[in-house]
Amino acid sequence: MAAAAATMSPEHGGPIQHNDSGLPPASISETVNELYEAGAPPAPTNSTAAPEQYSGEGEDDAPRSPVRKPHKRTGSLRMNGHKRDKEGSSSQLMIEKFQDRDGEHLTTVKQYRPFGRTETQYRRSDELVSGRRVGTKWERSHVHFAPLSVPLQRRLQTLIVLAHTLCIACFLTTFFLLAAIPLTWPLLLPYLLYILFSNAGTSGTLSHRSNLLRSSSVWSLFASYFPIRLHRSASLPPTRKYIFGYHPHGIISHGAFAAFATEALGFSQLFPGITNTLLTLDSNFRVPFYRDYALAMGLASVSRESCENILSKGGANGEGMGRAITIVVGGARESLDAQPDNLRLVLKRRKGFIKLAIRSGADLVPVLAFGENELYDQISSESHPMVHKGQMLAKKLLGFTVPLFHARGVFNYDIGMLPYRRPVNVVVGRPIKVIQQHEPESRYVDEMHAQYVGELQRIWEEWKDQFARGRKGDLEIVE
């Protein structure tokens, strides 16, 4: 290595002196210029390397370009005949020389590498540095949007369910828009007086009932949205009259509407000769326009007067034979306990419909809807006791309450007022024969109530493994 401390000139033979520190001359370009002024090409950087060979002459007697050789990288350990300082040395300056494809050299200061990292490790850490992956927040989002490629039938199903869910709001909006036009007042004023004094919802004549509307194909779209199915445990002879008790109430009782207010599920085929009427709040028959729609669907008031009139008028014998009513027994109170995968029925103290059955001589038919509570999510009364107290106060003052619920939307699957697409199986139990009494005895009322609860429990035990596989508990009878 001592021989590499100097570089010889081809003609002058004198060495190019290095400074005492062992580094190259202060300016490499000065050394190269001196060599070219002397008429000789610069010496190779390494004392052992042979000088580049030239062949032939150009038209202007100038030497042609040198023959290209494979790129040879000179390591920093031997560049300019000097070794890099040992580890721990105070000098950390490293020179690196490159040769491009035209044969010219570039000299640069090599980046200092920290102690303990090899060249391979250093290259791997510098080869590729990636930024954050886009779209991760959307993937973790709790809102899942519906795809654009949805079949037409499913879009129609969503449209019908949306219209049914918002029908009261739509009818009220239409009424107020018409009321804002003075030209419609001569028509609206008599109509308002008519609905205030009308007893069509309680008369029991069912004169506004439209079988054409009840049998419309749009209700098949409504029922297939979930889907909802109606199951019969036993046939019912049309020579009797019946009170169907529907459980649970759920949030909006979609299963009761599809099974007993329409012919979408084939009620007339399962129970031929029986005319069923679904009952709802009497206040609904005071809502403009909506009351006409409800009467056409065959709905009636749930008041005592309405129930007795339906079961004592009409039918095959003019005294209600072959007629039936459907009561959602749990009512608004039960809707507050409508939690998915749970079934709590408000039934212990609900004996008014039992007394009604005894007075009218109507047989009791328990109905259990598996999946009704799974159609919506709502806040739990146990985790929000103050909200629950406010809801109970509203029920006491107004007669109804508003559950704080949500489900899916029109264009997403997580936020909105539309029910989830989850199956509902409405199982009609076996009839419980009732002996008519004009003044029901309390002991007989309790006996009929116990038989009714027992039939509900039988339906649950027999069909829970098939229709309630994701349940978190068993049937619970409260209040």
For residue 275, list its beta bridge partners.
323
In which residue are the tokens 């308002």 written? Answer: 192
- What pLDDT digit, counting tens, does each position of 436-472 carry? 999 999 999 999 999 999 999 999 999 999 999 999 9
Spatial distance between the Cα atoms of 140 and 370, rounded to a whole number of angstroms: 32
The bridge status of strand 363-370 relative to strand 424-428 is antiparallel
Under the banding of pLDDT at 50, 70 and 90, the label for residue 86 is very low
466 is written with which tokens?
Answer: 């098939």
Q: Which phi and psi (to 5°) does residue 283 adopt?
A: -65, -25
Average per-residue pLDDT for the chain: 80
Q: What is the Cα Rg of the chain in Å?
A: 46
pTM: 0.70
Residue 354 CB partners (closer than 8 Å, separation 6+): 364, 440, 445, 448, 449, 452
Rounded to 5 degrees, φ, ψ at 174 are -60, -40
Would you call 107 helix, strand, or coil by DSSP? strand
Q: Is residue 376 within 8 Å of 420, Cβ to Cβ?
A: yes
Give the chain's length.
479
Q: What is the pLDDT of residue 315?
A: 85
Mean pLDDT of 13-37: 50
Beta bridge mates, 364? 243, 432
User: Is the CB of residue 319 less than 8 Å from the CB of residue 313?
Assistant: yes
